[in-house]
Amino acid sequence: MTTWNVLKKKETAGVLSNRYRTGRPRKTTAVDDRNIVKAVKKNLKTSVSDITNNLHRTGVKVSQSTVRRRLREQQYRGYTTRCKPLISSKNRKTRLQFAQKYRDEPQKFWNKVLWTDETKINLYQSERPKCGERRNLLMIQNI
């Protein structure tokens, strides 16, 4: 904007401030956006519905899609973590006892040990990648 246009605007409108912008105003303020990101930084496994409920308690009425949009603006993407088979407390104790019992054995002994837990175990999950995992592009090209 040139100096002439600025002076002309001052004469006609009497004010130099910007006019209101077109479009719908944001439902969240900058403070709300920071609180959303802070909740995710504190616990990456926090769900969008939990964040939305926390905002509702503070008086900010937003939808889950709005929270997702704010997280996407801050480069947070929705990836699902992989499931690993859980080790029960009984198995944990027996593994610890085994390790303490045989910790001073020589390498020849360990070469003879058959490790049965090197198998692939799928509990409650399929072979397909979960949402958010990156697939191997070479594997897809060979299909």
pTM metric for this prediction: 0.48
Q: Is 59 left (phi over 0), alpha (psi -120 to 50) or beta?
A: left
pLDDT, mean of residues 106-126: 72
41 and 96 belong to one structural domain: no
Q: How many domains does the chain have?
A: 2
Q: Residue 32: inside a domain, yes or no?
A: yes
Q: Residue 79: inside a domain, yes or no?
A: no
pLDDT, mean of residues 40-62: 90
63 and 27 belong to one structural domain: yes
Residue 140: the pLDDT is: 46
pLDDT in tens, 53-90: 999 999 999 999 999 999 999 988 877 666 666 677 88
64 and 102 belong to one structural domain: no
> Among 23, 38, 73, where does a domain finish?
73
Q: Residue 49: inside a domain, yes or no?
A: yes
Q: Residue 78: inside a domain, yes or no?
A: no
Residue for token digits 């610890």? Answer: 96
Please determine, for residue 138, whether its predicted confidence score (pLDDT) is greater than 60.
Answer: no
Residue bearing the bigger pLDDT, 108 or 118: 108
Q: Residue 81: inside a domain, yes or no?
A: no
| Domain carrying residue 61 | 3-73
Residue 122: the pLDDT is: 60
Distant-in-sequence, close-in-space partners of 6: CB < 8 Å, separation ≥ 6:
16
67 and 25 belong to one structural domain: yes
Distant-in-sequence, close-in-space partners of 89: CB < 8 Å, separation ≥ 6:
none
Residue 33: the pLDDT is: 94
Structure tokens at 139: 């594997």
58 and 108 belong to one structural domain: no
Residue for token digits 């009984």? Answer: 90
